[in-house]
C-alpha cells in the first residue's frame, strides 16, 4: 500500500463552480497507482467541493443561481425585526462572507473518490468542482491524499 499527497490551487473569479477534474486525473496518472481511494479536502470555510454533471454548463449555472436565492447575500433587516437588526451579524469580511459560510455548510468540504485503472472512478457525466461562494476572486487550496497500490 502506498500513499501520495498533493495540493491543487484553484484561482477563482468570484462565485461559481470551477471544474478541476482534468487536473485530478493528470495527477492520478502521474502517481501510477491502479487502485485506491482519493480524498480531496477544501482548506477553506467559504468554498466547498461537489461532484456534479459536467456535460451541460446550464447545470452549474442553475446550481449557483439556486444557492444565491437560497442564501441571499444582502444583509437586509429580517421581516418583523426591530430597526437595525440584520440577517447576518458576521460581516467583517464583507456582505458575502456569512452567506458563503452558510453555503459551505450546506455542501461538502471533502470528497472520497474510488480510483480504478489509475483514474478517478467518476460516472460518465460527473466532474469534480470547487464551489466558490465568495463574490471576489480567491486562490483556493485543495489537499489531496491518495491511498492505493
Domain ranges (residues) in the chain: 2-75+85-148
Could you give the CA distance from residue 24 to residue 103 in angstroms, rounded to a whole number? 24
Instruction: Output the nine-digit C-alpha cell for 125.
Output: 457525466
Q: Residue 70: what pLDDT?
A: 95
Q: Residue 63: what pLDDT?
A: 96
DSSP state of 81: P
Closest CA to 143 of 7, 4, 3: 7
Q: Residue 49: what pLDDT?
A: 98
DSSP lists the bridge partners of residue 37 as: 114, 147
Mean pLDDT of the chain: 93
| Candidate CATH numbers 2.60.40.10, 3.30.750.24, 2.60.120.460, 3.40.190.10; the one for domain 2-75+85-148 | 2.60.120.460
Instruction: Output the nine-digit C-alpha cell for 76.
Output: 437586509
Per-residue pLDDT reduced to its tens digit, 130-147: 999 999 999 999 999 999
24's torsion region: left (phi>0), alpha (psi -120 to 50) or beta? alpha
Could you give the CA distance from residue 148 to residue 31 in angstroms, rounded to a whole number? 10
Q: Does the pLDDT of residue 77 top 80, yes or no?
A: no
What's the sign of the alpha-carbon dihedral 136, 40, 54, 11?
positive
pTM: 0.91
Could you give the CA distance from residue 142 to residue 149 in angstroms, rounded to a whole number? 22
Amino acid at each position: 500500500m502506498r500513499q501520495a499527497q498533493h495540493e491543487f490551487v484553484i484561482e477563482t473569479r468570484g462565485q461559481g463552480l470551477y471544474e478541476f477534474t482534468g487536473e485530478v486525473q493528470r495527477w492520478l496518472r502521474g502517481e501510477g497507482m491502479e487502485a485506491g481511494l482519493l480524498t480531496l479536502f477544501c482548506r477553506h470555510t467559504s468554498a466547498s467541493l461537489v461532484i456534479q454533471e459536467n456535460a451541460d454548463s446550464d447545470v452549474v449555472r442553475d446550481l449557483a443561481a439556486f444557492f444565491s436565492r437560497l442564501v441571499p447575500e444582502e444583509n437586509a433587516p429580517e421581516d418583523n425585526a426591530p430597526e437595525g437588526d440584520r440577517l447576518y451579524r458576521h460581516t467583517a469580511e464583507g456582505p458575502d462572507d456569512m452567506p458563503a459560510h452558510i453555503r459551505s455548510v450546506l455542501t461538502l468540504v471533502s470528497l472520497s473518490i474510488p480510483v480504478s485503472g489509475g483514474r478517478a472512478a467518476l460516472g460518465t457525466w460527473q466532474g469534480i468542482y470547487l464551489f466558490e461562494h465568495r463574490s471576489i476572486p480567491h486562490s483556493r487550496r485543495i489537499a489531496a491524499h491518495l491511498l492505493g497500490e
